[in-house]
Amino acid sequence: MTRAQAKARTRALLLDAAARIFARKGFAGASVEEIAEAAGFSTGALYSNFDSKEALFLELLSHRASDRITAAAQTLDSPDASPGEALATLGRMLIDVADKDIDFAPLQAEFWLYAIRNPQVMDTMAATMNEPRQALERVISASLAQRGAPAEVSPDAVTTVVMALFQGLVRQRRVNPSSVSEDLFGQALMWLFTGILAGGAPAPASGD
């Protein structure tokens, strides 16, 4: 095993242990000592890979977001899936997140409140989540181009709307499952893209 492979393995084991400890104790209740011990390493090994507990949590969050975006991209790019089938698959993905990923949801809410009270953490959170956000924007940009969207449509703005739609529907599903059916996310995306093609393009994001 090369040094790079050993380092990647160490990081993966630390992230896996962190996911378990955070799920059981919450962000505030988990300690770096517990996480390192659960992974089979010293705290020194943890800090040689992650600057802080916040950095460890944010990488875990980023990995989960990237995995979902990769799955979404594969669904949308599948040559065998019709648009309706692709949207239905995305709808089922949302339901899976809302109904099965129940340990991580309160963690995200807890960390968001923590970041609100610590602006420097919020800045780090925005920077860490930029990579999965850009990956989603590439998927959306390709989808807009395939659909012949007007040139003035901002993929960045559409990405913001899609992310907010997904997160909002996940939360609503958890509050009132009957209000968010399996096909609602896909239907909402269809409404969004239909509106864009009809001329209801979101205004470009600030800085574009």
Structure confidence at residue 201 (pLDDT): 47
φ/ψ of 103, rounded to 5, equals -75, -35
Torsion of CA 44, 9, 32, 122, to 10 degrees: 110
Q: What is the pLDDT of residue 39?
A: 95
Sign of the dihedral through C-alpha 113, 116, 121, 126:
positive
Q: What is the CATH number of domain 1-50?
A: 1.10.10.60
Q: Which residue has the tokens 């009809």?
A: 198
Domain with CATH 1.10.10.60 in the chain: 1-50
Exposed / middle / buried, residue 175 (Cβ in 10 Å: 0-12, 13-18, 19+): exposed
Q: Which of 92, 103, 102 is nearest to 180 (CA)?
A: 92
Closest CA to 14 of 42, 188, 113: 42
Q: How many residues does the chain have?
A: 208
Cα–Cα distance for residue pair 131/123, rounded to 1 Å: 14
Q: What pLDDT is attached to residue 205?
A: 55
In the chain, CATH 1.10.357.10 sits at 53-197
Please write the tens of the pLDDT for every residue from 66-89: 888 887 777 777 767 676 677 777
CATH superfamily name and code, 53-197 = Tetracycline Repressor, domain 2 (1.10.357.10)
| Ranges of residues in the chain whose predicted pLDDT is under 50 | 200-202
Query: Of 54, 176, 170, which is closest to residue 106 (Cα–Cα)?
Result: 170
- At residue 207, the pLDDT reads 54
Written as one string, the DSSP assignment of 160-193 is HHHHHHHHHHHHHHHH-GGGS-TTHHHHHHHHHH
| Half-sphere exposure for 91 (CA within 13 Å, toward CB) | 17
CA angle 190, 170, 66 (to 5 degrees): 80
